[in-house]
Amino acid sequence: MLRALLISLSGNRRLRTFAENSPIGQRVSRRFVAGTTVEDALNATRAVNQRGMSVSVDNLGENVTNAEEAHQSAGLYHQLLDEITARGLNANISLKLTHMGLDVDPRVARELVWGLVQHAAQLNNFVRVDMEGSAYTQVTLDTVHELHRAYPGRVGAVIQAYMRRSQADVERLIAEGIRIRLCKGAYKEPPDLAFQKKSEVDANYVRLMEILLKSGIYHGIATHDERIIEQTKQFARAERISPEAFEFQMLYGIRRDLQEKILRQGWRMRVYIPFGTEWYPYLMRRLAERPANLFFILRNLFRG
Name which of 139, 184, 133 is nearest 290 in CA terms: 184
DSSP 8-class letter at 255: -
Name which of 92, 32, 101 is nearest 63 in CA terms: 101
Which residues neighbour 76 within 8 Å (Cβ) at sequence distance 6 or greater? 38, 59
- Is position 181 annotated as part of the catalytic site? yes
Name which of 219, 248, 221, 216 is nearest 161 in CA terms: 221
> Which of 3, 16, 58, 130 is an active site residue?
130
- C-alpha separations of 263 from 108, 144, 154, 206, 256 in Å: 40, 30, 25, 21, 11
Under 8 Å between Cβ of 141 and 157: yes
Longest dimension (CA), the chain: 51
- Is position 237 annotated as part of the catalytic site? no
CB atoms within 10 A of CB 26: 14
> Which of 181, 268, 285, 286 is an active site residue?
181
Total residues found in the chain within this entry: 304
Under 8 Å between Cβ of 208 and 161: yes
Active-site annotation, residues? 130, 181
